Amino acid sequence: MAATPSKLVSLVEAAQAVASGASLTAGGFAHSHQPLAFTRELIRQGRSRLTLMSVAECWVAEFLAAAGMLEKVYFSNFMFEGYGRCQRFSKAVEAGAVAVEDHSHFGMVSRLMAAGLGLPFMPMKAMAGTDILAISGFEPPDRKARRMQSPFGHEVVTAVSPLRPDVAVIHAARADRLGNVQLFGTTSVIEEQARAAGTVIVTVEEIVDTDIIRRQPEMTLLPALMVDMVVHLPYGAHPTGVYGYYDHDSAHLADYYAASRTEPDTAVWLDRWAHGLPDHFDYLDALGMTRLLQLRVDPALGYLREASHG
Amino acid sequence: MPMTSGSKLASLAEAVSRVPDGACVAIGGHDGRRSPMALICEIIRQGCTGLRLVGWDGGFAFDLLEAAGCAASVETGPAVRDRIRAAALGWTAAPSGAGAPSLALRPDVVLLHGEWADSVGDVRFPVETWEPESPDLLLAQAGASVIASVEQIVSAEAITRRATDPCLPGATIACVAEAPYGAYPTACETRYEVAEQALAEAVAAIRAPETLDAWLDAHVFGPADHWSALDRIGARRLLGVTRDRVLRV
Amino acid sequence: MAEVSRDEYMAVAASREIRDSDTAFIGTGLPMVAAYLAKATHAPRVNLVFESGIIDPRPVDLATGVGDYRLAHGSTKIAGTFYALSLLQQGKVDIGFLGTAEIDAYGNLNSTVIGPYHRPKVRLPGSGGANDIASMAKRFVVIARLDRKRFVEKVQYLTTPGFLTGPGAREAAGLPGAGPVRVISDRAILGFGPDSKRMRIERLYPGETLAAVQEHCAFPIEASPSLEAEPEPDAHLLRLLREVIDPKGVYVGRGER
C-alpha cells in the first residue's frame, strides 16, 4: 500500500493558513475544547479584518476581539458560563468596531449545515417573527433568510442561506498523522463546521498511531478525508478544558475576566500570555507543569475532583 | 477485602518522614521502569542516612542514593530476590540448593510508584502494561511498611471500575502521595517513556563528585519539592516523553 | 429551619412545571436545580436535554454550566449542539426554561441588546438556544426577577418569541410550539390569559400583594380570576434543595435564619 502523506504541521505553519480578511469558525462550547493555543498564535502573528462564523466559541471570539483582529461576526451567543458576558467582544460591538449578525443557535448551525451539505439553503422553523430576521446586521436581510412555502404543501418555513468559512479550527483529543480525529466529550458544532469550511485545521492533545483510531472507530469525530492539517498541541485548549484530559482553569479564566474589564488591563494580559511568549511551550512553562497537572481530570468522572492534591 | 475508612493521602515529604535512618529500604520498579524517583529525591532532600537498600536489579535509583550519601549498602540480584520472595510467602528462610538456606529478608520500608490510587490508598497498576516479572507486589507483600507514590489520585469509582488491575489494597499500605512524572527520568509505562537524554545526563553527572553536587542542586535541593522540580524540568521535556495521556477506564 | 428564600420559591415553582416523562430542555442556573428537584420528586422519568449535547445525565456534583463536564457524568448520550437542538425542531421537547433581560406582556424576550442594534448601549450575549426553545418546544417557562426594567411595555429587541403581537401571531409566523405558559418571578407566579395571551398574576408568594407586583411591572398587569396564594414549600422539598441538590447555595440563595 502506498504511504499516505502526514498532515502534521507546526502551529506557526497552520496559523499561516488564516490570512487577514479571512473568515473563520472554531470548535468549542462554554469552557470546553476551544482552540486557544491556535488563537494565541494568530494573535502573536497578527491578523486584521477577520470574520467569525460562530456558534458558541466565546473564548476565541473574545480573544480575537481583545486583540482588535475582528471585523464582522455571524453568531448566536457569546457568554462565559459562571462569569457573565464577553466584555471585550461586547465593548467592541458597542463601540461599532465589530459588526454583528445575530442568529439563534439552530439558525447558525443550519447555515453551516447548508454549506456543509452543498445546498443553496436550509429550511428551518425557529427565528420566525422576531428581530433576528427583521433587523439586519451587516448582511442584506434577503441574503440571510427568506420565508418560503414548502414545495410539498402549505407549510411555511424559513430558508437560511449557507455560510462557508474559509477555515475551521478545531481542538480535539487525539488524531493520527493522517488526520483521523477523535474527541471524547461533547462535540459542539465541529462536524457541521468541518463540512462547511474550505480548510480544516485540527489541533490535538495527542498524536496516536492509526491502529489506536481503528480500535475505537466509534469515537472518531472527523475521518482523515475531512481534515487538512493536524497540529500536536498538548494543553492546546487551555484555559478551557478537554474532556478526559484536563478541566478548565477557573483561576486563569477569572484572572482574564477581571483584566478584561478595562482595555489597558486586557492589553497587559495579552502581552503577558500571548505576545510575550514566543511559542506554546513557553506558554505552558509560564503556567508551570504543576498548575497544568493539577487540572487533570478524574478518569472515571471526566472532570477535576477538588481537593485531591496533597 | 478489609475496608479502611481513613485517608491514606500524604505529601511526598510526609511520606518520606516515615523512613528512619538506617532502615532496610526496598525500592520498587524494574528494568528502567517505575523507579520511585520522586520519593527517592525527597529522601535525599530530607538527608536520610545509613539506608540498607535492596531491590530486584540495580539502576539509577540505587546509584543516586549511594552517590548522595544516603545508603550504607546496596543488595540486588538473584540471592536477595530469593530472600525477599521467602519473606513475601511468610517463610523464615529461602530454600537453596546445596548450601545453608539464607534467611528471609523483610524490608522495613518499601517504596513504590504506581499509576493510580484513591484516597484510602488502593493503589493500581494498569493491567494493560503489567509484566509478570514486575517485583512491586511481591516487595509490598514482603515489607513491613509500604509507601507508594502514584501518577494520579483518583476517585473510588475510577479504582473500582478497573477490577482486573494488579492492586495493593489500602489496608496494606502506610500512605500514598501524588507524584505525576514520579518515575521520571525512568519510564511509567502507560504515561511516559524513559527520558533517554535526561537519564544519560544524570547518570554521567552523578559519577564524579564535582558534577554530582551541581546535579543535586539543580534537580533535588534547588526545587522545594517534586512539583517545583517538574516546573523546572519544563513542558518541552516532560511532554516530549509523554505518551497516552488518557487511558480510558 | 431557615426562612424560605425567594430563590427557593422560584426553584420549587419551576420544578412543578415539569411533568413526569417530559423531555425538558434545561439551561444553567435555577432551571438546572428545578429539573433535578422535579426528577427527585414528582417526575422521576423526566428526560433532561442540554444544548451542549448532553442527554439524560446522572451528575454527582452540581455543574457550573451546561458545558461543564460535571454535567456529563452518567449521561446516556454525549453528542453535539446540533443534535440537541434538532430535537426541538423534531418536536421531541415538551418544555424549556429561559431567563431574560427584558420581557413584555406577551412573553416576548430580549437577550440581545439594550439600545439600538447597531450601536447598542449594552451588547448582551444573544439568543443562543433561547429562540429555538421558545419557537419549537411544546411549551416554555420564563424565570425572571420582577422589576420595571425587566418587565417592560416593549422589548428593545425581540430575540425570542412569546405570543409576538398577541392571539394568532405565533401560528401566523409558523412557530410550532404553543408559547409561554408561566413566568416565575421572585414575587409571584405569572401566567397568560387563554384568549388575550397577555400576562396576568396567578399566585402570590406569602407577604406579597397584588399592588406590589403591579408596582414592579412596567406594563399594566391584572390578576387572574383564580388568583391564589403560593403555599410555603414542603419541608421535604426544601431539604432536597438545601442538602442534596445545591448544598453550597450556588444557584439558590438562602433565606435568613
Its ipTM equals 0.96
Which residue stretches of chain A have pLDDT < 50?
307-310
Determine, for residues A299 and B245 on separate chains, whether the beta-carbon distance falls below 8 Å.
Answer: no
For residues C32 and C49, give the distance between their C-alpha atoms in angstroms, rounded to a whole number.
11
DSSP state of A218: G
First to last CA, chain A: 52
Q: Residue B64 in contact with residue B38, Cβ under 8 Å?
A: no
Residues of B with CB under 8 A from a CB of A: 9-12, 14, 116, 119, 152-155, 157-158, 161, 177-178, 180-181, 227-228, 230-231, 233-236, 238-239, 242-249
Q: How confident is the model at residue B247 (pLDDT cuts 50, 70, 90)?
A: low
Cα–Cα distance measured from residue B13 to residue B186, given in angstroms and rounded to the nearest whole number: 21
The answer to whether B53 and B164 have CB atoms below 8 angstroms apart is no
Chain B residues with beta carbon closer than 8 angstroms to that of A292 = 235
CA proximity to B61, closest of B21, B29, B107? B29
Tell me if A281 and B235 make a contact (CB, 8 A cut-off): yes
As a whole number of Å, the CA-based R_g of chain A is 20
Distance CA A307, CA B155 (A): 11
Q: Is the model's pLDDT at B224 over the cut of 80?
A: yes
CB-based contact A206 B161, cutoff 8 Å: no
Q: Please provide the distance, in angstroms rounded to a whole number, between the alpha carbons at the two ends of chain B.
A: 22
Contact A94 C120 (CB under 8 A): yes
Residue C80 and residue A186: Cβ atoms within 8 Å? yes
Residues of A in contact with C86 (CB under 8 A): 106
- Nearest chain A residue to B240 by CA distance is A234
Structure confidence at residue B1 (pLDDT): 36
Report whether C174 contacts C135 (CB < 8 A).
no
CA dist C114 and C124 (Å) reads: 7
The per-residue pLDDT for B248 is 55
Q: In angstroms, what separates the C-alpha of A278 from chain B's closest C-alpha?
A: 13
DSSP letters, chain C, are -PPPPHHHHHHHHHHHTPPTT-EEE--SSHHHHHHHHHHHTT-TT-EEE-TTSEES---SS--SSTT-HHHHTT-SEE--HHHHHHHHHHT---EEEE--SEE-TT--EE-SEES-SSS-SEE----BTHHHHHHHSSEEEEE----TTTB-SS-SS--B-SSTTSTTHHHHHT--S--EEEEE-SSEEEEE-TTT--EEEEEE-TT--HHHHHHT-SS--EEEEEEEEPPPPPHHHHHIIIIII-TT-SSSPPPP-
Answer yes or no: is C255 within a domain: no
Confirm or reject contact between C156 and chain A (CB < 8 A). Answer: no
Domain-embedded: residue C252: no
Nearest CA in chain B to A308: B153
Q: Per-residue pLDDT tens for B128-182?
A: 888 888 899 999 999 999 999 999 999 999 999 988 999 999 999 999 999 999 9
Q: Kindly list the domain boundaries of chain A, sorted by start residue.
A: 11-104+164-293
Task: Check: CB of residue A241 under 8 Å from CB of residue A247.
Answer: yes
Contact B152 A173 (CB under 8 A): no
* Paired sense of beta strands B51-55 and B71-76, if any: parallel
Contacts for C39-48: CB closer than 8 Å, 24+ residues apart? C40/C240, C40/C244, C40/C245, C41/C15, C41/C236, C41/C237, C41/C240, C42/C16, C43/C18, C43/C19, C44/C20, C45/C20, C45/C21, C46/C18, C46/C19, C46/C20, C46/C21, C46/C22, C47/C21, C47/C22, C47/C23, C48/C24
Look up residue B52 and give its three cell numbers.
Answer: 540498607
Neighbours of A154 (CB within 10 A): 6
Distance of CA B60 to the CA centre of its chain: 12
Q: Is A173 helix (H, G, I), strand (E, B) or coil?
A: strand
**Terminal Cα distance for chain C, rounded:** 7
Pairing of strands B93-94, A122-124: unpaired
- C-alpha distance from A57 to closest chain C C-alpha (Å): 12
A123 touching C (Cβ < 8 Å)? no
Amino acid, single-letter form, for residue A12: V
Cα(A286)–Cα(A270) distance, integer angstroms: 13
Is C138 part of a structural domain of the chain? yes
Cβ of B9 within 8 Å of Cβ of A310? The answer is yes
Which positions ≥6 away from C162 have C-beta within 8 Å?
C103, C104, C106, C107, C108, C109, C134, C179, C180
Q: Which residues, listed in sequence order, are joined to residue A124 by a DSSP beta bridge? A: A158
Q: Is A278 within 8 Å of chain B by CB?
A: no
Are C120 and A99 a contacting pair, CB within 8 Å? Answer: no
Alpha-carbon gap: C114 to the closest alpha carbon of chain A (Å): 10
pLDDT of residue A307: 45
Give the type of residue at B216.
Answer: L
More confident residue, B246 or B159: B159
Which of the other chains make 3 or more beta carbon contacts under 8 angstroms with chain B?
Answer: A
Mutate to test the interface with A, among C32, C61, C66, C85 (most CBs of A within 10 A): C85
Report helix angle A263-270 to A87-94, nearest 10.
130
Residues B113, B46: Cα–Cα separation, whole Å: 19
Give me the residue from C52, C122, C161 closest to A29, CB to CB.
Answer: C52
Q: Is B75 in a helix, a strand, or coil?
A: strand
Paired with C228 in beta bridges are C203
Record: contact C65-A31, CB cut-off 8 A: yes
Over B11-49, what HEC string results? Answer: CHHHHHCCCCCCCEEEECCECCECCCHHHHHHHHHHCCC
Which SS3 state, helix, strand or coil, does residue A293 take?
helix
Instruction: Find the CATH number of the domain harbouring C206.
Output: 3.40.1080.10
The pLDDT, as a whole number, for residue C1 is 65
- Of the candidates B88, B118, B119, B84, the residue with the CA atom closest to the CA atom of residue B6: B119
The answer to whether A116 faces chain C, any CB pair under 8 Å, is no
What is the count of structural domains for chain C?
1
The CA-atom distances, in angstroms, between B216 and each of B42, B203, B206, B229, C128 are: 11, 12, 8, 11, 56
pLDDT tier, B249 (very low <50, low <70, confident <90, very high otherwise): very low
Chain A residues touching C102 at Cβ < 8 A: none
pLDDT the model gives residue B244 = 75
Measured CA to CA in angstroms, residue C40 lies from B197, C20, C53, C56 at distances of 57, 11, 22, 14
Q: Which of A205, A234, A298 sits opposite B154 (nearest CB)?
A: A298
The answer to whether C69 contacts A86, with C-beta atoms less than 8 Å apart, is no
- CA dist B209 → B9, B37, B72, B155, B218 (Å): 36, 20, 18, 44, 14
The catalytic residues of C are 51
Closest alpha carbon to B154 in B114, B119, B125: B119
For the record, the C-alpha cell of B174 comes out as: 502506610
CB contact under 8 A, B119 and A244: no
Chain A contact probe: residue of B42, B124, B154 with most A CBs at under 10 A: B154
Position C35 scores a pLDDT of 96
Q: What was the pLDDT predicted at C2?
A: 78
Q: CB distance A106–C85 less than 8 Å?
A: yes
- Check if A243 contacts B (Cβ < 8 Å): no
Percent of chain B exceeding pLDDT 70 equals 95
Would you call B245 and A289 a contact, using CB atoms and an 8 Å cutoff? no
Match 406569602 to its residue by C-alpha cell: C206
Longest dimension (CA), chain A: 67
C contact residues 180-209, partner A, Cβ 8 Å cutoff:
none
Instruction: Residue A302: list chain C partners with CB under 8 A.
Output: 69, 72-73
The CATH H-level (homologous superfamily) assignment of domain A11-104+164-293 is Glutaconate Coenzyme A-transferase (3.40.1080.10)
CA A187 to CA A55: how far, in whole Å?
A: 12
CB-neighbour burial class of residue A172 (10 A; exposed 0-12, middle 13-18, buried 19+): buried
Q: What is the amino acid identity at position B58?
A: G
Side-chain half-sphere of A214: how many Cα atoms within 13 Å?
4
Query: What architecture is the B12-241 domain classified under in CATH?
Result: 3-Layer(aba) Sandwich (3.40)
Q: Are strands A220-222 and B24-27 parallel, antiparallel or unpaired?
A: unpaired
Contact pairs from chain A to chain B, CB under 8 Å: 87
| Position B134, amino acid | S
Decide if B35 contacts B26 (C-beta within 8 A).
Answer: no
Residues A157, C180, C196: CA angle, nearest 5 degrees: 95
**Residue C126 counted as domain residue:** yes
Specify if C250 maps to a domain.
no
Report the distance separating Cα A279 and Cα C138, nearest Å: 50
**Cα separation of C70 and C58, whole Å?**
9
Distance (Å) from the alpha carbon of A103 to chain B's nearest alpha carbon: 37
Q: Which three cell numbers stand for residue A303?
A: 472532570
Alpha-carbon distance values, C242 to A79, A82, C143, C199 (Å): 28, 20, 20, 31
CB contact under 8 A, B158 and A301: yes
* HSE-up of residue A245 (Cα within 13 Å, Cβ side): 29
Task: Please check whether residue A189 touches C, CB under 8 A.
Answer: yes
**CA nearest to B243 within chain A:** A206
B63 min Cα distance to partner chain A (Å) = 27
| DSSP conformational letter for A199 | E
Cα torsion angle, C45, C186, C99, C125, sign: negative
Please name the amino acid found at residue B211.
Answer: T
**Subunits adjacent to chain C (3 or more Cβ pairs under 8 Å):** A
Low-confidence stretches of chain C (pLDDT < 50) are none
Give domain status of residue C199, yes or no.
Answer: yes
